[in-house]
Amino acid sequence: MSSSLSKAGSLSKAGAAQTPAGATSPWWRGGLIYQIYPRSYQDSNGDGVGDLAGIRQRLDYVAALGVDAIWISPFFTSPMKDFGYDVSDYRGIDPLFGTMEDFDALLARAHELGLKVMIDLVLSHTSDQHPWFAQSRTSRDNAKSDWYVWADPKPDGSPPNNWLSIFGGSAWQWDSRRLQYYLHNFLASQPDLNFHCPQVQDALLDVARFWLDKGVDGFRLDTINFYFHDKQLRDNPALPHDQRNASIAPMVNPYNHQDHLYSKTQPENLAFLERLRALTDSYDDRACLGEVGDAQRGLEIMAAYTQGDRRMHMCYAFEFLENRPLTADYVSQVFARLEAVAGDAWPCWAFSNHDVPRFISRWGLSAQAARCLPVLMICLRGTACLYQGEELGLPEAEVPFERLQDPYGIEFWPEFKGRDGCRTPMPWQSDAPQAGFSALREGADTWLPIDPRHTSLAADRQDADPSALLQHYRHLAALRRVYPALAQGSQEAMQAQGPILTFERRLGDQRLFCAFNLSPQAASARLPAGTWRAVASDLGGQTAPDTPNLALDGWHFFIAISED
């Protein structure tokens, strides 16, 4: 049959008639998650730092985006050496962010609006101010002496092995109380828990149970493959120079010189993940999203950690968080590799988060490319995660050295500027002081400066402009609801036709063809045989001529539904 094309349609007109019968799925499978970095979302009390009450004030805005869930970065009690990723009380709310009553109110309001709430659990390590560590370091024979990873020095007094910290230098810190080293894969003030100790596992599962009982809908699990270490403390081998990349650490960091075979991603982790999944599944409609931090084997780890229905519900790796641009060849290679290692693995794709430069700046995108790539993410098999400000098209902020807060950036400045540039406050009102983020008290300042370029992109200005990127994202969220094949269906026939990435999504009788020109130059690709009706015109989707050849302008896309 020759290819033909009927009149293009918009999302608003496509309607539920396209939905295959019985096409149901858990909310997280193919859902859209919106990440909120609480320090920078909305300040409700004028101290210059965002808080839980501020998030609650902005939930109507989030709901209007059409997302399924929010993921809130850590708000637990913490000395804030790593801005909440160093927890000193897993059951406490840091006063900087408010109270437990504030969290309960946020959770209740989110649920009223139909939003699921995922919280960020940091289980691989704690703060050195956590009571567990305070007790563990007092002696070698106390009740929590083996709750952290302790080791004797080598005979010459040097660290037990060659493991390195992501934040620079040795991963071992000397402790004069025990006359031993303790392991820290991140800051020296973030000692690693010893998951080989059963009591540690039980204690952490109790933490998860506490929040599940509170009513949270799931967890984003920080550095999920860092939980276990090699009990023999074997040295990591050197990594060949041609295999080094900056997906986990900047190239100026010697962390990239090692193949981290023994300091993380140990086989014992699978059994703990199964325990965590079983606990989560004992509650209705909850989910676990694991972060896999590995520059060489991220997809393979994701596959192992999401395999079957006893481990994590979903994981995201760093393939699309790298500096490497998204080309048709690269995306097709990623999915071919994922299919080869585990076709049933369930990924969660993100282009930006709180740890990497914003993707518009990272990839140097044009305005048209900034509209095309989010549509691609929504069309790919997997769950999608948006980072606050992404929907406004915020570029990476410029933060001068004297205003830096991130210890990572301070350590490696100026070759690596750290993570502050993607963490600056949200611009809500273009003409308001501090762009509407904070009504500062006298003597206070925003914890990070607001980039002047962000104020012209503020939410209020885009809300009033029908052509703004914010409106594009609102239409974007509707795409998967209108066409469930994009959320739940199989993904087939992915290939790179020059700069154009093409693939099909299928669910029941619903069949969609997707084509994305991931370059600035016009190109053409071949349409599959059949009768196709173009959709997604609300998103700027291109129509196609009645011919087997599909012509696409640079950074344009074409999505069509089969009418055969």
**Residues 70-91 as b or e (16 or more Cβ within 10 Å = b):** bbbbbbbbbebbbbbbbbbebe
Helix extents (H) in 26-160: 52-57, 59-65, 100-112, 131-136
Are 562 and 530 spatial neighbours (Cβ–Cβ below 8 Å)?
Answer: yes
Are 125 and 229 spatial neighbours (Cβ–Cβ below 8 Å)?
Answer: no
The Cα angle at residue 411 between residues 408 and 414, in degrees rounded to 5: 100
Report the C-alpha gap between 9 and 425 in whole angstroms: 38
To the query of whether residue 101 is one of the catalytic residues in this protein, the response is no
In this structure, the strands spanning 531-535 and 4-6 are parallel
Q: Which two tokens stand for residue 406?
A: 């991130």
Residue tagged active-site, from 86, 230, 291, 300: 291
Nearest to 66 by CA among 114, 129, 13: 114
Question: Who contacts 509 (Cβ-Cβ below 8 Å, separation ≥6)?
Answer: 20
HEC secondary structure over 441-478: CCCCCCCCCCCHHHHCCCHHHHHCCCCCHHHHHHHHHH
Q: Which residues pair with 385 in a beta bridge?
A: 33, 350
In this structure, the strands spanning 314-316 and 287-291 are parallel
Question: Who contacts 108 (Cβ-Cβ below 8 Å, separation ≥6)?
Answer: none
To the query of whether residue 222 is one of the catalytic residues in this protein, the response is yes
Indicate if the alpha-carbon torsion angle 499, 500, 501, 502 is positive or negative. Answer: negative
- Name the helix (H) or strand (E) containing 181: strand 180-183
Q: Which two tokens stand for residue 477?
A: 């969220």
Distances in whole angstroms, Cα of residue 201 to Cα of each of 174, 268, 433, 506, 530: 25, 12, 47, 40, 55
Burial class (CB in 10 A: 0-12, 13-18, 19+), 179: exposed
Q: How far is CA 107 from the centre of its chain?
A: 20
Report the C-alpha gap between 191 and 165 in whole angstroms: 11
Q: Which two tokens stand for residue 526?
A: 């071949």
Are 427 and 459 spatial neighbours (Cβ–Cβ below 8 Å)?
Answer: yes
Tell me which residue has tokens 């992915």.
Answer: 494
Report the C-alpha gap between 532 and 544 in whole angstroms: 9
Question: Who contacts 292 (Cβ-Cβ below 8 Å, separation ≥6)?
Answer: 224, 225, 298, 301, 302, 305, 315, 316, 317, 318
Q: For residue 488, which amino acid is it?
A: Q
Q: Which residues pair with 89 in a beta bridge?
A: 77
Report the C-alpha gap between 74 and 90 in whole angstroms: 10
Burial class (CB in 10 A: 0-12, 13-18, 19+), 10: middle
Question: Which residues belong to the active site?
Answer: 222, 291
